[in-house]
Structure 1
Amino acid sequence: MTAWSGVTWDHPRGYQALRAATRHPDAPVCDIDWDIQPLEGFESAPIATTAQRYDLIVLDHPHIGEALESGALQPLDQLFSAAELASWCADSVGPSARSYEMSGHIWALPLDAATQVSVRRDPGVPLPDTWDQAVELAGEVTAAVPTSGPHLFLTLCGIAVAHGASPGADVFLSESEVGEALEVLRRFVPERPARDDNPIALLERMSGGAGPDYCPHVYGYVNYTRGPRPLRFGDAPRGRGGRRGSVLGGTGIAFSARRTPDDTVLDHVRWLMSARTQCGFLPDEQGQPGSRTAWESDAVNGDTRDFYRATRATIDDAWIRPRHAGAVAFQTAGAEAVRACLFDHHNIRRLAREVNESFEISSRCAATPRNES
């Protein structure tokens, strides 16, 4: 039998547990070759192209609409029982499971859960509870946010959501919502950043002792709670609207349409999704579980300086990004528009117009509803 092919992203959180599971004595025997791709590929590579090469895909929820339009994935309700799916979805943390549901089907299982949270290097520095406090702290310590890929745009969205915005309800964001969020964002981004950091690079620098003291908004990676310079994570700041205003991340595991799964690979995925695996094997192998049971576990939290409890309120309140067929292209265009405004023209009206026009263009011909979240 030909080995199953899988793809995930290039970080121990993304690949170590998946590769180790193929050799674990308690896991159902299944021959899976897990390839890895850079975080930027994970965030933006066309899912239809990926699905032509791989049988199992670890993906981000903004790709779901594109996957449906191209027929790239298999609906999981045709592979697993309704009881199994209901159990996994009920045990998922925050809106993770819901982010992979569309058009009456489930397209990926919430293997891993994450959202934008706060992090600091020095345990003596208190994590701000509000964005006003975060801006104040940024005047006292070194502070930064990720700047590469989609992350400036996603942080802008998170701040706007915290202040009460509902992106995409009428326009994506109004000019006043964009302006208010940008004013906060620019306090954490130098006029000309010396580096263009993705979340992993920023956290690596912080844990290495060379990065900023504080980051108010970065996708949480439990891996950096360990080591000689452990980082301390906590909830994202609240906005004026009282919401944490975080943009959901995490990953789901999906089956491409190119090959019909057999019992060996289905049983292997069942084992990965089981509460026992999520609470034991997965965190032991650098994974970040999607299971609510794991997030509430004393043992799991005890090994991570309460990473999960400290960020639970934020993920429960996280915002699901657009998932229509043009969502990834829109996210890319939004990031380019935010970068241009911050580092070039500084025109908020232009930024709001470009973001809203990109949203409208990307969703105009989408086969899946743009606000189906």
Structure 2
Amino acid sequence: MMFRGLTWDHPRGRHALEAAQAQGGPISWDAQPLEGFESAPIGELCARYDLVVLDHPHLGEALSLGCLRPLDEVFSPEELDAISNRAIGPSMASYVMQGRPWALPLDAATQVMARRPDLVETPPRTWDEVAELSRQTGKVALSLAGPHAFLSFLSVVQAIEPGLNLRNGDRWMANTTAIRAIALLADLAAHSPAAVAALNPIGILEHMSGGNDDVALCPLIYGYVNYAAPSRAVPLAFSDAPRISADGSPGSILGGTGIAISTRCTVNEPLRQHLLWLMSPEVQRGFIPDHDGQPGTREAWLDPRVNSQTGNFFAATAATLEAASIRPRHDGFIAFQAAASATLREGFAADAAPETLAAQIADLFHASHKTEMPA
């Protein structure tokens, strides 16, 4: 029996899954563009596919629609505990909602720093150092397209206030924190190279690693191991996300992908074993990275062989991933994320006051809840 799966259209998102299919795996994979992965209605996708590779912020919408199968109906507690214990950072925790797991953390990623090592030899450690490099060179880019303006804002917020937990969508940040983060990003946006303003993270990394010298560093961008590969025209170097102070925590918002099972799928034992195989230590350390993938387990991120083939991408950013924060996941978040990003982009272009933008985003957040938030 062959199952139908949907992943996203990038070597990191599809090559390993397609290779697994080619060697006899029970899932036939289609792919959608990154923009679809970030914003396509999850209910529509689950109606057409047995398995869906998704991002954790879609969980609130998916659970409200009842379109995902909880994984504790498919895997034993021991199997789920083993996967959770191996997952790096909050990768597994991001797919747990209402006390139940809804996806397997196949791929781990978070916002990190990317640079041209020939143009910036030593990565800046703090946001003040990033701002100084921006003013000096005009070659520090922000990732602001699509949802990424808001995600960059959230990452700066987490650097300012590392203990802030927004994952359940039942609280918002202090106004002073929001204003400080917006002011920091507005200063950088004013000097960010126009050539990459409309590009998603893949586009920015393609631009940087393609030999274009107008972007030397992007302080917050979702890490893609593929652009550290020696085969690139200019392999990029990746480092931890910036901190507010040198001894602070790197602020970053978790990305990555999980494999979820739709309610239309009738799971059989070959499918169950295949999914366990994808999450196994040997596949996460070997098959996944050997096929352009970005594994979801700590042991793979710290594996010397894996790092030796990828310019130390994994080990150089593992601390940021371990400290990464989980986005709100309430039903209504995806639309809010898009609206908040548009508000920030328009505000930066119009030189709007950070206080004004902070108030607008807070209003959007509270309006995004389809049911009343607890007091």
TM-score surpassing 0.5?
yes
Structure 1 distance, partners of 2:374, 2:115, is: 36
How far the C-alpha of 1:137 sits from its partner, in A, is 1.4
Contact 1:323-1:370 at 8 Å conserved across structures: no
The one-letter code of the counterpart of 1:145 is: L
For the 8 Å contact 2:170–2:374, the answer to whether it is kept is no
Name the structure 1 match of 2:199.
197
Q: Which amino acid aligns with 1:67?
A: A
**Equivalent residues of 1:131, 1:239 under 8 A apart:** yes
Deviation of 1:229 (Å): 1.4
SS in 2 for 1:139: helix
Alpha-carbon shift at residue 173 of structure 1 (Å): 3.2
Q: Is the 8 A contact 2:182 2:358 kept in 1?
A: no
Q: Secondary structure at the match of 1:118?
A: strand
Aligned pairs for 1:67-82 (under 5 A) are 67-82=62-77
More displaced 10-residue stretch of structure 1: 284-293 or 220-229: 220-229
* Secondary structure of the corresponding residue to residue 266 of structure 1: helix
TM-score, length-normalised on structure 1? Answer: 0.93
AA in 2 matched with 1:215: C
The equivalent of 1:185 in structure 2 is 185
Q: What is the match of residue 50 of structure 1?
A: 45
Give the superposition deviation at 1:170: 8.2
Counterpart contact for 2:21–2:27, Cα < 8 Å:
yes
Q: Which runs of 5+ in 2 are unaligned?
A: none
Alignment deviations for residues 327-366 of structure 1 (CA, whole Å, 9 cap, x no partner): 1111112111111211136132331222111211222517
Alignment match, 1:229: 234
Question: Does residue 181 of structure 2 align to residue 176 of structure 1?
Answer: no
- Partner deviation per Cα, 1:197-240 (whole Å, 9 max, x = no partner): 11000000000011511110000000011123110001001114
The reply on whether 1:107 has 2:106 as its aligned counterpart is: no
CA distance in 2, matches of 1:146, 1:198: 7
Give the match's secondary structure for 1:117.
Answer: strand
1:332 matched to which residue of 2?
338
326-335 or 313-322, which deviates more: 326-335
Question: Residue 298 of structure 1 aligns with which residue?
Answer: 304
Counterparts of 2:187 and 2:219, CA distance in 1 = 11
Which position in structure 1 is the counterpart of 2:7?
A: 8
* Residues 167 and 173 in structure 1, CA contact (< 8 A), matched pair in contact too: no
SS of residue matched to 1:363: coil
CA-to-aligned-CA distance 1:142-196 (integer Å, 9 cap, x gap): 1102121110111111112111263659862333222221222123324793440
**Corresponding residue to 1:265 among 259, 271, 275:** 271
Aligned equivalents of 2:276, 2:33: Cα separation in 1: 26
Match of 1:245, SS?
Answer: coil
Q: 112, 115, 122: which is aligned to 1:126?
A: 122
> Match for 2:122: what amino acid?
P
SS at match of 2:361: helix
1:352 is aligned, of 358, 361, 368, to 358
Find the counterpart in structure 2 of residue 95 from structure 1: 90
Distance 1:370 1:204 in 2: 43
* 1-structure distance, mates of 2:227, 2:328: 29
Distance between the aligned counterparts of 2:335 and 2:132, measured in 1? 34
Instruction: Give the percent of matched residue pairs that are identical in Structure 1 and Structure 2.
Output: 45
Greater Cα shift, 117-126 or 47-56: 117-126
**TM-score normalized with structure 2 length:** 0.92
Q: Match for residue 309 of structure 1?
A: 315
Change (3 A) 1:231 1:266: same
Partner letter of residue 35 of structure 2? E
The offset of 1:370, in angstroms, is: 8.9
Native 8 Å contact 2:72 2:100 kept in 1: yes
Are the equivalent residues in 1 in contact too, given 2:165–2:326 (CA < 8 A)? no
The match for 1:365 is 371
Of the candidates 124, 131, 136, which is equivalent to residue 132 of structure 2?
136
> Match for residue 239 of structure 1?
244
Number of residues of Structure 1 aligned to a counterpart in Structure 2: 364
Residue identity in the other structure for 1:129: R
- How far apart, in 2, do the equivalents of 1:143 and 1:125 lie? 14
Aligned to 2:238, the other structure's residue is in SS state strand
1:73-114 CA distance string (max 9 Å, x none): 000010011111100110000010000001121000100000
| Contact 1:363-1:370 within 8 A present in 2 as well | no
| Distance (Å, rounded) in 2 between the aligned partners of 1:72 and 1:216 | 36
Q: For 1:43, what is the secondary structure of its paired residue? A: helix
State which of 36, 53, 70 in structure 2 corresponds to 1:41. 36
Equivalent pair of 1:149/1:332 in contact (CA under 8 Å): yes
Q: Distance in 1 between matches of 2:58 and 2:374?
A: 12
The CA deviation at 1:306 is 1.0
